[in-house]
Chain A
Amino acid sequence: MRDVAIVGAGMTPCRSRWIEKTFWELAQMAVAESVRDAGIHIDEVEAGVAGIYNDIFEFQAIPESGLQGIIGMQNKPLLRVSNGGATGGYAMLAAHQMVASGQHDLALCVGVEKALDCYDFEAESPTPAVVQTIGYSWDPWFERPLGAHATESYAEVVQAYMDEHPGDLAPLARARIAEMLSTYARNNPYAQRKNEQVTAQQVLQSRYVVYPIRALETCVYTEGACALLMASGDKAREIQKRTGQGPIWITGAAAANEPYFVGSDISRYKVLHRIYSDELATRKALEQARLRIEDIQVMELHDAFIPQLMITLAEMGVVPLGRANDLVEEGLIMPGGKYLLNPSGGLTFGGHFVGGSNMMSAWSVRRELLARNLEHGLIHGTGASLSMYAVVMILERRN
């Protein structure tokens, strides 16, 4: 496998609603920005990947088809990726493989999503329709007819974990993480909730969406786009000479998906109180990078829900399973602690445009590695029923 580096990145602002822009325009804005950032012409890009989670959100089947000419990929290969909440992570994995395999020297990875065009005319609100649209991700025979949906599904994992580890995922610890992320979002110029500072007390008082998860512990629905440019080692060094901006190397890239059905044998079924895919993907990615989790300085993790984020951190080995409160109580992930966690504000306060939000995580880690002169970062995406998908990438800044 060849070395691969991120040489450019572009973002649109994250908004709950872009009435004035379609997903075509959002994708083009992000790609144009990434090309400017890398100092290249789009014609230099040989292939691309489009992360788009949900056709219904785009109101079009094969929504990537319209993008082809708009993002400058006419007459070139463009692979559509759709892997639930982890769509952005899997799209990056595909773009990475295009370059690492030696097939291409420069690949585009763009993620885009609309969401709030969905509307429940009975409730006179988009939210139930958005929740319903995501709910179509559950199987139509055994789970969807029971009203299974994203928050319900992740809440099952959270509740099962709390059954297994009573007292862990303490409400105050969760609330303090949400408070921290709302503060971090101020430093993300693209964040959806950059002006929404919340206190731990407000988090504790916010209403339940699905018991035991509260509204302010939950990611937002977002419309937006992000684009990354991934280059081979030689191409990255050539671009660096043009721009003077150092590449960020991808030294580990791994994924794992757990099975859909719940059971008692972790080798064959989803064990409800675990997010085993996070452990597997993290372990593989760190092995590739020849690092331990302790070596990571900045991480952007997929915080669909704050208690799920805490389980993910435990699965990654930051703390033992059952000791996730230590993340907060010992300050490991808090400001000034060992790990800089979700400096973009994460998906809860930065935004969650599903097809590309994991790319926003890469955009953020790259930004922090360069700005703070850090060496090692980690990005993570999860998704699908019961948080069963996981993608982990290790990023490195070299002197």
Chain B
Amino acid sequence: MAQPIIRPRMQPEEGMREVLVDGKTHLLRNDVMFTAMQHAQGEFSEFFLSLRDEQRIFGHRCPRCRHLIVPPFMKRCPPCNFADMEKEYVKDVGVMAASPVITVFAPSRFKDQVPFGTGRVFLEAQDGTPASTAMLVRVRTTLGTIRPGIYRKGTPVKIVFSPHRRGAVDDIFAVPQSELTPAQLAKSPLAENEIDWDRMPEAAWTGTAPEEGAVLKEAVRLFRKLAEMVRKSPRATADLRSWQRRVRLESPAGAFGFVIDNCQIEVSEDTSATPDLIFRIHDPAILVGWLRGASAGARAGPQSPPLTDLVVEGTLILNKPEMETITRLDRIPRSLRRDLIVD
């Protein structure tokens, strides 16, 4: 069933709020700037139909200067005094124009998609030469959440087609060619459901693994302490409202699990249950740093980076791009301070 474009929770009810400023009452009126659209895709319809129905990408080439633009954002070449450009199919491979960026705080309509990577790809013409322009695409990885280092300037990529194409630019996205098998690389079009997206647990640890399990035990102890504090804090409890997740945290020193349910956290060393989400961290001391900061407040000394940053930097790897658990956990330290559970 088709989903509403604006989620009901984003739509305000009629209402007027009174706010006191400098002793005087002022009004805030709930409202919307409402314009529904049947937005014409015009001359771009052919390009989007090609993505949707043929799973092929084309650009426009100027017969005079030979520039090839992808996407075909115009039909005439201004430097050649608006010479008519010609349709030309390109390959579904190319290279990154630059390292992609990773959005953590997104516009309203994209906030449930973070973290997401976006970058520009110079797609290849049939003769192997790069297009003159680079196309903005979402970039994804099969190795957990998107993070720096997976893509760089010049990284060869393959365009992948979504199975739920609607005739729009988000029908496609890029993956690094290095993450694909030779058979996947050779296939055109390559569909999203032909790729194994759950390879994160196979990813090898990088660097030297900490040998002792004492750090992990400390992480478990502090996580339990945090869970106790959450029980006493109305704000922290509210941070976990309407959220259920079973999470397994894996590190080279071992694993433990925790469950978020009923506005509470339960920590367990038994990791046999199938998790909704997997966190992988090479050095659990970093997690201990965050937990100490969260449970000891301002007196803990230098603050640990928020968990969000650990995910964005790739220190904490998730098996799927779902930040909600992380952002909710990140709110807890502040809530504990505001409820004076810690100072």
**Interface of B, helix, strand, loop or mixed by DSSP:** mixed
* B211: interface (CB < 8 Å): no
Does A135 lie within 8 Å of B119, measured CB to CB?
no
Q: Indicate if B256 sits at the interface (CB-CB under 8 A).
A: no
In the assembly, what is the distance between CA of A264 and CA of B153, in Å?
13
Q: Once the chains bind, are A163 and B99 in contact (CB under 8 Å)?
A: yes
Interface size (B, Cβ < 8 Å)? Answer: 66
Contact B104 A210 (CB under 8 A): yes
CB–CB A208/B132 < 8 A: no
Known: A261-B69, A272-B120. A123 touches B308 (CB 8 A): no
Determine whether B49 belongs to the interface, using a CB cutoff of 8 Å to chain A.
Answer: no
Q: How far is the CA of A226 from the CA of B67 in the complex (A)?
A: 45
Asked, given contacts A145-B169, A155-B101, A265-B132, whether A205 binds B153 with beta carbons under 8 Å apart, the answer is: no
Bound-complex Cα distance A119 to B122 (A): 37
Known: A149-B106, A210-B101, A263-B132. A128 touches B306 (CB 8 A): no
Q: How far is the CA of A66 from the CA of B80 in the complex (A)?
A: 44
Chain A residue at minimum C-beta to C-beta distance from B137? A146
Complex interface residues of chain B between 86 and 141 (CB less than 8 A to chain A): 97-111, 113, 116, 118-120, 122, 130, 132-138
Is A120 touching B309 in the complex (CB atoms < 8 A)?
no
When distances are taken between beta carbons in the complex, the residues of chain A under 8 Å from B170 are 145-146
Segment at the B interface, from A77-85, A100-108, A136-144, A282-290: A136-144
- Chain A contributes a number of interface residues (CB within 8 A of B) equal to 51
Instruction: Point out the residues of chain A lying under 8 angstroms from B111, CB to CB.
Output: 120, 123, 128
Of listed B44, B111, B119, residue having the most chain A CB within 10 A: B111
Closest A residue, CB atoms, query B65: A268
Given contact pairs A122-B108, A123-B108, A268-B79, A156 touches B101 in the complex (Cβ within 8 A) = yes
Q: What's the minimum C-beta distance from A199 to chain B, rounded to whole angstroms?
A: 12
For B303, list chain A residues within 8 Å (CB): 205
Q: Is B164 an interface residue (CB 8 A)?
A: no
The answer to whether B105 and A131 have CB atoms under 8 Å apart is: yes
Chain B residues near A132 (CB-CB < 8 A): 107-109
Chain A residues within an 8 Å CB radius of B104: 207-211
Contact residues, A190-213 vs B (CB, 8 A): 205, 207-212
In the complex formed, the residue of B with least CB distance to A150 is B107
- Known A132-B107, A146-B138, A261-B133; contact A20-B24, beta-carbon cutoff 8 A: yes
- Contact partners of B305 in chain A: CB under 8 A: 205, 207
Which residues of B in the span 141-193 have a Cβ within 8 Å of any Cβ on A? 148, 152-153, 168-170
Do A59 and B31 contact each other (CB < 8 Å), given the known contacts A121-B9, A135-B107, A269-B133?
A: yes
Per-residue B-contact encoding for A148-183, CB less than 8 Å = 1, 0 else? 110110011001101110000000000000000000
Indicate if B11 sits at the interface (CB-CB under 8 A): yes
Which of chain A's residues have a CB closer than 8 A to the CB of B12?
119, 121
Report the minimal beta-carbon distance from A214 to chain B, rounded to whole angstroms: 9
**Across the interface, do A140 and B39 meet the contact criterion of CB distance under 8 Å?**
yes
B97 touches which of A155, A211, A272 (Cβ 8 Å): A272
Q: Are B169 and A142 in contact (CB under 8 A)?
A: yes
* Shortest Cβ gap from A330 to chain B (Å): 27
What is the distance, in angstroms, from B117's C-beta to the closest C-beta of chain A?
9
A262 at the binding interface (Cβ < 8 Å): yes
> A59–B102 Cα gap in the complex (Å)?
31
| Interface pair A147/B24, CB less than 8 Å apart | no
- Given that A146-B169, A156-B120 are contacting pairs, would A131 and B308 also be in contact in the complex, using a CB cutoff of 8 Å? no
Q: A145-B170, A146-B136, A149-B107 are in contact. Are A264 and B313 (CB under 8 A)?
A: no
Q: Does B204 contact A (CB under 8 A)?
A: no
Please determine whether B130 and A163 come into contact, CB atoms closer than 8 angstroms.
Answer: no
Q: Which residues from B are CB-within-8-Å of A147?
A: 103, 106-107, 109-110, 113, 116, 118, 138
Is the CB–CB distance between B71 and A142 below 8 Å?
A: yes
Q: Min CB distance, B79 to chain A, in Å?
A: 6
Shortest CB–CB separation between residue B5 and chain A, in angstroms? Answer: 12
Tell me if A188 is interfacial: C-beta within 8 Å of chain B.
Answer: no
- Do A19 and B120 touch across chains, with their CB atoms under 8 A apart? no
Q: Are B7 and A122 in contact (CB under 8 A)?
A: yes
Contact A148 B109 (CB under 8 A): no
Q: Kindly state whether residue B312 has any CB partner on chain A within 8 Å.
A: yes
Contacts of A131 in B (CB 8 A): 105-108
**A208-B108 Cα distance, complex, nearest whole Å:** 17
Decide yes or no: A262 and B120 within 8 Å by CB, A147-B103, A210-B103 being known contacts.
Answer: yes
Tell me if A129 and B33 are in contact (CB < 8 A): no
Give A171 to B54 CA distance when docked, in angstroms.
Answer: 45
Contact (Cβ within 8 A) B135 A142 = yes
Q: Kindly state whether residue A127 has any CB partner on chain B within 8 Å.
A: yes
A142 to B44, CA, bound (A): 10
Answer whether A207 and B136 are a contact pair too, CB < 8 Å, given A140-B39, A261-B73. Answer: no
The chain A residue with its CB closest to the CB of B115 is: A211
Interface centre among A119, A131, A147 (most CB of B within 10 A): A147
Chain B nearest Cβ from A259, distance in angstroms: 9
Q: Which residues on A sit within 8 Å (CB–CB) of B99?
A: 159-160, 162-163
Q: How far is the CA of A211 from the CA of B147 in the complex (A)?
A: 9
Q: Are B309 and A207 in contact (CB under 8 A)?
A: yes
A319 in the interface (beta carbon within 8 A): no
B2 interface residue, CB < 8 Å from A? no
Compute how far the CA of A129 lies from the CA of B105 in the bound complex, rounded to whole angstroms. 11
Q: Is A237 an interface residue (CB 8 A)?
A: no
Residue of A nearest to B135 (CB): A142
Instruction: Flag if A264 contacts B21 (CB, 8 Å).
Output: no
A392 to B146, CA, bound (A): 38
Q: Which residues of B contact A134 (CB under 8 A)?
A: 107
**What 10 pairs across the A-B complex have the smallest Cβ distances?**
A160-B98, A132-B107, A147-B110, A211-B102, A263-B133, A132-B108, A155-B101, A122-B9, A163-B153, A128-B108
- In the complex, besides A212-B101, A263-B132, 17 extra interface pairs with C-beta distance below 8 angstroms are A56-B33, A121-B30, A122-B7, A140-B39, A143-B136, A147-B103, A155-B101, A156-B98, A156-B101, A159-B101, A163-B152, A207-B104, A208-B308, A210-B101, A211-B102, A264-B122, A264-B130
Q: 28 interchain pairs (CB within 8 A)?
A: A20-B22, A122-B7, A128-B105, A128-B111, A132-B107, A132-B109, A141-B169, A143-B169, A145-B169, A145-B170, A146-B118, A147-B103, A147-B113, A149-B110, A152-B101, A152-B118, A156-B98, A159-B99, A160-B97, A207-B309, A208-B312, A209-B105, A261-B69, A265-B67, A267-B79, A269-B132, A272-B97, A272-B120
